Amino acid sequence: MSSRAFNIVVVATIVFVMWSVWLAAQSKNVVIEFIRGQSLVQDIDTTRLTKIEITKGGKPLVLQRVASGFLVNDSYPADGGRINNLIQQCTGITCGREIADNTDVHEELEVDGKSENSVVVRFVGGTEEIVGLIVGKMEGSANYVRLTNSDTVFISENSIFVDTDALAYVDKELISVVNTEKVEVSGGKKPYTILKAGTEDGVLQAVPEGMAAKSMEVRNVFTLTHTISFSEFSSESTLKGVEFNRTYAITTESKEQYIFTLGQKGSDWWVKATAKYVGPATLSVGEIKNADAEQLKKHEALLQAGAKVKKFADRHRSWVYKVSENKGKEFTREFDDLIEEDKVFLRIEEKAIGSVSVKRADGSYTLTSPNEGVFKMKDLPKDKEMRPFLPSGIYAATTSLAWIERIDPEENLVKDVKYETKYTTELKDKASFTFDIGKKENRFFTKVNAAFVGGPKDNSPESVIAEGAVAKFNKLHKGHVYEIPVPGAVDNMVKSLKDLLKDASEELKEIAASHILVSFKGSAKSMSERSKEDAKKKADELLVKAKADPGNFAKLAEENSDGPSKAKGGDLGKFDRNTMAPPFTVAAFKLKVGEVSDVVETEFGFHIIRRTQ
C-alpha cells in the first residue's frame, strides 16, 4: 500500500471513530432499537443531582437539594421519602409501544412541553440536565411520553401521574401525639385545663356547681393532637393580617410540651407551632438504679424528650400552617361550649349505696347492700322470695337517673300530680336522697329532697363531706318538680312489692323457646360484617313480621337468623335459668307459651324470642 493510500485509511478511521463517539454522546437516554417493556429512563445519577424541576402549564415547581435534603421552591423542607418516590416513579416508567420519532405529533400528543397538560420533569446536576422527560396526554390507561433530548414518542405500559402540587412533596402531618397528659387552652373568654384521669380521655377541670362536662366535646378537644395535618404553609413574615391570640398547649406523659398559637383570617385558621421540655433537668442515680422495667421505660422517654421537642421547634420555627376550619374551631373551643346544665341527679357508684327503700300505698320494702351479688330484703315474708334480676335494677336506679325538664311546682302541668311512690337511696356515708314520684298521662314527675341521717356528733371527714353534698343537692333541686324519662330508671323505682316478690314454690325451672339472632360486626362469635345500627334495624323489621304471624316464626328464623339453630327454625329446645345470657333469660321466662318478645340485646347481638313450652 502506498504512503498516500495508508494516510487516507488512517484519516478515515479517525473520522469514523469520532463520529461514533459523537453519536453515542448525542444518543444518551435515547432508545435506538425499541424493545417492549424497556425503561424510558435508564438511570439517574443521584450523586450529581442538585435539583428537580417539575413544570406544568408553564408553572414551575423546584425541589432544590441542600445539605439536609430538599427544599420545596427554595423554602419549606421536602419529605425525603416523597422525593425518593418521585425518582423511583420516573425510573420505573416502561414503554409499551413506539409511536413516532419526529416532532410532528408532539403538540397533538401533548409531549411538546408547552401544552397545558404536559408535565416536564428535569433532573439537574449543577447547570446540566442529567435527564428529562415529558408526560403527555392519556390514552386509555397509559400516557404518551418522551425524553427531553429525543423526539421519539412512546406510549407507556401504565398510567403516569406526576404530582405538580408543592404540598405533595412535604410531610403535611403537623403532629401526632397520643400520650397526652394535660391540655391547656387560653386566649378565649376563660382559660381551662383538661387532664387525663385513668383510662378516660380527658376530664375538664373546675366545672361549676350544677353543671356537667359534655363528655364528647371535651374528648374531642383533649384528643385533638392525635393527628393534625395542614393544607397550606407560609413563612411567618409573608403572612399578613392574622392576629395570633389563642393558645392550645399539650403536655405529654414524657413532659414534652407542644404549643400551638392560632389566628383567624376570614374563615381560614392559621397555626404557629413550637415545643419545649417541662420535665426534670436530670434523673438521679437512685431513680435509675431502683426503677423497674416500666419506670425505666418512662425514664428513657424523659431522656429522649428534650431532643424531640428541639427537633419539632427547629422544624416549625418561622412557619405558619393553615388547618381545617373544624380543627381551628376545636383548638379554640370556649369553656362554656364544653359544659351544660347537669341533668343527672346523683353521680354515684352502686358500691356507695347502703340501702334503698320504696314506699307505696300497696306496700313498702327495703333492699340492703348485696353480699356477693345477693340482695337482702328486710322483713321478707317466709313464703315469698324476690324475683331474679329485679332487685339489682331497683337498687341501682339512682346511679343513672337524669331529668328532662325542670318545672315550677305552681305550673298547671304538675299542680294535680299525685306522688304515690317514695323512693329513698341511703348512702353508706349517711347522705339520704328521696324522690317522690308521680304519674300523669304516661309522664313521670318527681320532687326531690336530701338529708343527712348520721348522728349529731359524727364529725368524721366522710360525714362532713356528706353533709356538704346534701346541702348542695337541696340548694340545686329542692322546691322544683322534674320530669323524668320513660322508659328508664323510673320503671325500677316504682316497682311494687307485688312486682318484686313471688311465691317461693312457683319457681319455673325451665322452658323451651325458639329465637332469631341478628348479629353484627364485633358481637360475640359473629361472622357478620353489618353494623350494629343495621342489625338493630333488621331486628326491628323482623319483629314486626314475627308478631304479625307467630305461626310463621320457624320459617322466619330459617331465612334470617345468624344463630346455629337457624336450620331448626331457631329451636333452642329446653333450657334453665342459668343456660342463656341474663337479658335473654329474663325476657324468655317472662313470656307466655306462644308469645313473642320484643327485641332483646345480648353480647351475641339482637334476639327475637318465642316461647314454645
Q: What's the number of CA atoms in the CB half-sphere (13 Å) around residue 244? A: 17
Domain finish residue from 121, 148, 169: 169
* Separation CA 533–CA 519 (nearest Å): 11
Residue 488 and residue 441 share a domain? yes
Give the model's pLDDT for residue 281. Answer: 78
Residue 70 and residue 164 share a domain? yes
> What one-character-per-residue DSSP string does 112-165 give?
SS-STT-EEEEEEETTEEEEEEEEEEEETTEEEEEETT---EEEESS-------
Residue 311 and residue 180 share a domain? yes
> What one-character-per-residue DSSP string does 340-376 give?
EE--BS----GGGEEEEEEEETTEEEEEEEEETTEEE
Residue 531 and residue 489 share a domain? no
148-184 pLDDT tens trace: 999 999 999 999 999 999 999 999 999 999 889 999 9
Give the model's pLDDT for residue 12. Answer: 57
Residue 430 and residue 394 share a domain? yes
- Residue 539 has phi, psi (to 5 degrees) of -60, -40
Give the model's pLDDT for residue 373. Answer: 63
The answer on pLDDT for 295 being more than 80 is no
Q: What's the number of CA atoms in the CB half-sphere (13 Å) around residue 279? A: 24
| Burial of 313: CB neighbours in 10 Å, binned 0-12, 13-18, 19+ | middle
Residue 354 and residue 252 share a domain? no
Rounded average pLDDT over 306-328: 93
The answer on pLDDT for 27 being more than 50 is no
Range of the domain at 82: 31-169
Starting at the edge strand found earlier in the chain, the sheet holding 510-518 runs 571-576, 510-518, 605-611, 600-602
CATH number at residue 517: 3.10.50.40
Rounded average pLDDT over 262-286: 87
Contact in structure between 400 and 534 (CB atoms under 8 Å):
no
Model pTM? 0.67
Q: What percent of the chain has pLDDT over 90?
A: 60
The answer on pLDDT for 223 being more than 60 is yes
Residue 103 and residue 225 share a domain? no
Q: What's the mean per-residue pLDDT of the chain?
A: 88
Residue 222 and residue 297 share a domain? yes
The answer on pLDDT for 365 being more than 90 is yes
Rounded average pLDDT over 139-156: 95
Give the model's pLDDT for residue 523. Answer: 84
Residue 529 and residue 393 share a domain? no
Instruction: Label each residue of 579-597 as H, E or C.
Output: CCCHHHHHHHHHCCCCCEC
Least confidently predicted of 224-233, 275-284, 544-553: 275-284
Strand partners, 97: 155
Specify the amino acid at residue 378: K
Residue 363 and residue 409 share a domain? yes
Give the model's pLDDT for residue 576. Answer: 85
The answer on pLDDT for 436 being more than 50 is yes
Looking at the 3D structure of the chain, how many domains does it have? 5
Q: What percent of the chain has pLDDT over 70?
A: 90
* Separation CA 18–CA 12 (nearest Å): 10
The answer on pLDDT for 355 being more than 60 is yes
Domain finish residue from 480, 502, 524: 502
Domain finish residue from 293, 323, 341: 341
CA quadruple 81, 85, 86, 89: dihedral, nearest 10: 170
Least confidently predicted of 141-145, 294-298, 317-321, 554-558: 294-298
Residue 380 and residue 303 share a domain? no
Where residue 43 falls among pLDDT bands split at 50, 70, 90? confident
Give the model's pLDDT for residue 550. Answer: 86
3-state DSSP percent of the chain in helix, strand and coil, to 5: 30, 35, 35
Give the model's pLDDT for residue 28. Answer: 44
Residue 132 and residue 6 share a domain? no
492-535 pLDDT tens trace: 999 999 888 877 555 667 888 999 999 988 888 888 888 999 98
In three-state secondary structure terms, 48 is: coil
Neighbours of 435 (CB within 10 A): 26
Say which residues have a Cβ less than 8 Å from residue 320's Cβ, sequence separation at least 6. 233, 234, 235, 236, 239, 242, 270, 271, 272
Which three cell numbers mark 600?
Answer: 332483646
Which three cell numbers mark 435?
Answer: 324522690
